[in-house]
Chains A and B, each alone.
Chain A
Amino acid sequence: MPHDHHDDHAHSLLPPEPALRVKSLETILERKGLIDPAAVDAIIDMYENAIGPRIGAGLVARAWADPAFKQRLVNNTSGILTDLGYGGRQGEHIVVVENSAKTHNMVVCTLCSCYPWPVLGVPPAWYKSDAYRSRAVREPRAVLAEFGVILPATQQIRVWDSTAEIRYLVLPIQPPETHGLGVDDLARWVTRNSMIGTGLPKRPENGGLGASL
């Protein structure tokens, strides 16, 4: 397409206040027939109400409860997710990485903010922050300490930098006191951060939501 180099600074022509800037662009796009505002509403509704960490928590809980399911989830993540209807945008190629007494896994995207949207929803602000993107690969133990997680010195850390379209989901270690619980109760122990690797499963408060933070 023909364009001059000024076009890649066109954003600076919008109003200074962000909310007005968005409104201004959306109005232009709507008038020019380039966007369906109802589709924008529907996308927002999906990420606010349908697609979120409860989906990932359900997968983790089922993996804890059913060793055969766990093997399939770890060995053929994409196949399982497609079968269950949890593939999709920003999670076309998901790999599950399993924590053990020997290895703790933790996920980051240093170049932008890649994240397994179909199973965890929209990434939290800290995941997209310069501080997390900068530090996670270099000093993961210091970062984990800021999340209240202290790992044994004997446990090695694998930090997964999501530089391609592969999205990583951490399968945390099942807390010993949860053995024998059903899938729904297990899911309440799974936190969102435990599936990113910046947290551990924890005892549910207030009955738990199935994937609190």
Chain B
Amino acid sequence: MTRQPGHKAYHDMGGDLAGTIMPDRPDDPIFAAPWHKRVLGLTVAAGAMGAWSIDTSRFRRETLPQKDYQRFSYYEKWLAALTNLFVINGFVSPDEIRHGYDGGLQPMRKEVLRAPDVAAMLAKGAKASRQATGLAKFSIGEQVRTKRPEDTLHQTPGHTRLPYYAAEKTGRILFHHGHHVLPNSHAHALGELPEPLYSVEFRSADLWPDHDGNAGDTVIVDCWESYLDAIS
């Protein structure tokens, strides 16, 4: 049964018509403005505090009000989401954001990342893989059908890593990466619920009606098992 296409979120832009790409030049700095690097540093340092996950950070960036998501530059999105994370998690009040904090210098919390620990924190990272909790349902080479992004959500508004352009398409399992934390639940602190993660390969001609490249062109999307249905 063919269903009407569902709602496409505004951050989910794969396949949209868009303008020219502006490649950088060899002497461009890594950060275009000093405040860009400050946002990156603050975001990474705050994440290391462990109060929220990378999935939650992504959810907060992509659920910024549409007008802000679309007018903000990249690091403005990061900054806005970071601000909201500190407020939503009760570390900072909206009043303090508006007027500043005048309660005197507080001692640094013990969970705050310190300068001497930065290199080790970056080198360690945070793996998303987990011990398998069951068998993988699909095998390499098997054909599968993707669900609709909105049918993979664990709450509303929710978070998913299934792009709209790959919804209700038939692809083939290329890799099985073992069990990985499921962003759809983890973004909302509803548990890691690890699932088998697969790289699923789609023929470009199956995704885009106007595809005019090589017939062998493909797009690969990493899909958690609950994004996929077996083909009966």
**Shortest distance between the CB of B193 and any CB in chain A (Å):** 14
Residues of A within 8 A of B42 (CB): 22, 25-26, 29, 35, 40
Decide: A10 near B24, CB < 8 A? Known: A134-B13, A165-B180: no
On whether the beta carbons of B64 and A122 are closer than 8 Å, the reply is no
Total contacting residues, chain B, CB less than 8 A = 116
Residues of B within 8 A of A175 (CB): none
**Shortest distance between the CB of B38 and any CB in chain A (Å):** 5
**Shortest distance between the CB of B131 and any CB in chain A (Å):** 15
Residues of B within 8 A of A161 (CB): 14, 163, 166, 219-222
On whether the beta carbons of B22 and A129 are closer than 8 Å, the reply is yes
Q: A137 to B169, alpha carbons, bound, how many Å?
A: 15
Residues of B within 8 A of A30 (CB): 105
A1 at the interface (CB under 8 A from B): yes
A184 at the interface (CB under 8 A from B): no
The digit string for B100-134, where 1 denotes a CB below 8 A from any CB of A, is 11011111110011110111011111111100000
On whether the beta carbons of B165 and A137 are closer than 8 Å, the reply is yes
**Shortest distance between the CB of A126 and any CB in chain B (Å):** 5
Q: A24 to B7, alpha carbons, bound, how many Å?
A: 36
On whether the beta carbons of A22 and B39 are closer than 8 Å, the reply is yes
Residue of A39, A47, A156, A193 with most chain B CB atoms under a 10 A cut-off: A39
Decide: A25 near B97, CB < 8 A? Known: A42-B115, A156-B217, A159-B218: yes
Listed A/B pairs (9) with beta-carbon separation below 8 Å: A11-B84, A22-B35, A29-B92, A35-B112, A46-B118, A111-B14, A124-B24, A137-B14, A213-B24
